[in-house]
A and B are shown apart, each in its own frame.
Chain A
C-alpha cells in the first residue's frame, strides 16, 4: 500500500506510538506510561488548570530572559563587530565564558537573586546573551565590504552608514541567530525550572515524579515541551520568508 507523500510522516509517528504502547503493556511492572495515559495526563492538567498556568510560566520566563538579552546583546555585538579593536579585546573573554553551561551559574544566581523567578530568568538571560552577541558580531563581519564602500562613495556619514547599510545588511543573519538562540533558551528554561522554581513545564517534570511517580505527567510534560519548542521555532522561521528579507537566505 503506497501511502501518499504527506501521510508518510504521520504513519511513522503512528507506528512509533504503537510500538511504544505495546512495549509498555507487555511489562508486568508498569512504571512508564502508554501514549494513551500521556494523553489523559495532558487532559488532567488542562482540567486542573495547570496546563495553561505552567505553559504560560515557562513562556513568560523565556520571553523576559531572551528579550533582555537581545536588547543588550545585539547592539553590543554589532558595535564589537564594527570596531576591530573591541573585538580583539573582548573575544577571548567571550570564548572562555561561552562553554560554561548556564546551569553552572545556578549557585551564583541563587546567591544573588534567591530561589525564584528572577534566578530562572537570569539563567535564560545568560544562556542567550553570548550566542546573540556572537551572532551580531559575525553578522557584521560578513557584510560585503563592497556595500560599505558604496555607501561611503555616496557620501554617507558614519551614522547614516550604520543606519542605511549596516542594519539592513545584518538583519537576515540576526533573525536566524535569534531563532537558534530562542531554541537554546527554551532548552535552558526547562532545565532551570527543574532546579530553581515551582511552576512551569520543567518544574512539572520534576514535581510529577517526586510527588508520586506520576510518569504519565512527566512524559506529558516532555510532549508539551517538544510541541511548544517546535511552535516557537516555526514561528521564528516565518520571519525568514518576509519578502524584503528573502535576499539574505539562499535558495533551497
Chain B
C-alpha cells in the first residue's frame, strides 16, 4: 500500500534483518534473565544436532507425517465425495448442515476419551483425531465448490447434451476443483496442528510426543523448542508443497495470482 516500490534486494534483506533481530533479542533476553532453563538459539541448535545424532529426529518426523498422511487421506477420500453430493443436492445439504454445524466446533482433542474407548491408546486413536480435524473443512470446501460453480457452466454442459453423471464429472468437478484444493490445503494445516496435539496425549512417538517428553523427562527445554521449530518448518513445507499444486496450468485459472 505504500507508494515507493521496494527493490529486488530488499526482498531478502528485510526478512533476514527481521529474523536476525528476532534471534538476537531472544538470545540476549535469555542471557539477561539469567535463566538456566529457557534455551537460547544456540542451545536449540545444539538440541537439533543431538536429536539428529541419536536418530530420533528422522524417526519422529516420519511418525508424525505418516499419521497425518493416513488421517488426511481418509478424510479426503471420504470427505470430497460427500461434499460433492451435498453441493449437488441442495436439499440434502439443508438437512445435513445442522448436524455438521453442531459437530464442527467440538475440538478433535475433546474426542480423545471416546477415541481411546474405541481404538485404545495408540496410533489408531491419533489417526482418528486427525481424520476428524480434516474431515469437516474438506466436506465444506467440496460442498461450497460445487455450489459456487457458475450456473452458466452447468447450462452449457446441459446444452451439449450431458447427462447428470457426465455433468458432474466433466463440468462441475473441474470447476469446483480449485476450491476443493484450497480446502485440502487448509485441512492439511489443521491436520498438522491436530497430530501434534494428539501425539502429546495419546501416543509415544512423533514431534508432539517429543515436546511433552523432553520436558517431562528432564526439563530439556532446548529439545522442546527444537521440536517446536521442526513443527513450524515442516508445517510450512507442507503448506508450500500444496501451494505448488495451485500453479499447475490447468488449475491456475482458479487461483488469484498476487
Q: CB within 8 Å of B: which residues of A?
A: 5, 8-9, 11-13, 16, 31-32, 81-86, 88-93, 95-101, 103-108, 111, 140-141, 143, 148, 183, 186-188, 190-191, 194-195, 202, 205-206, 209, 215, 218-219, 221-222, 225-230, 232-233
Contact = CB atoms under 8 A, between A and B. Distances in A.
Interface in B215-246: 215, 221, 224-225, 227-229, 231-236, 238-239
Contact of B95 (A12, A140, A190): A12
The DSSP consensus for interface residues of chain A is: helix
Interface string B174-200: 000000000000000100111011001
A99 B236 contact: yes
Given A5-B94, A101-B231, A89 B17 contact: yes
B202 to A, nearest CB: 12
B98 A107 contact: no
A190 B124 CA distance: 22
28 contacts: A8-B91, A8-B94, A9-B98, A12-B99, A13-B99, A31-B117, A32-B117, A81-B1, A88-B6, A88-B14, A93-B19, A101-B208, A101-B231, A103-B208, A104-B208, A104-B231, A107-B211, A107-B224, A108-B221, A183-B105, A187-B105, A187-B107, A190-B110, A202-B109, A219-B114, A222-B106, A222-B111, A225-B110
A218 B113 contact: yes
B106 A229 contact: yes
B151 interface: no
Contact of A194 (B18, B96, B109, B215): B109
A100 B208 CA distance: 10
Interface residues of B, number: 63
A106 to B, nearest CB: 7
B105 A229 contact: yes
B228 A104 contact: yes
B163 to A, nearest CB: 27
Nearest to B12: A88
Q: Which of A88, A101, A107, A215 has the most CB of B within 10 A?
A: A101
A100 B107 contact: no
A199 to B, nearest CB: 16
Nearest to A78: B1
A222 B1 CA distance: 45
A119 B235 CA distance: 24
B200 A106 contact: yes
A106 B231 CA distance: 14
B15 interface: yes
B2 interface: yes
Contacts of B257: none
Given A84-B1, A104-B196, A190 B17 contact: no
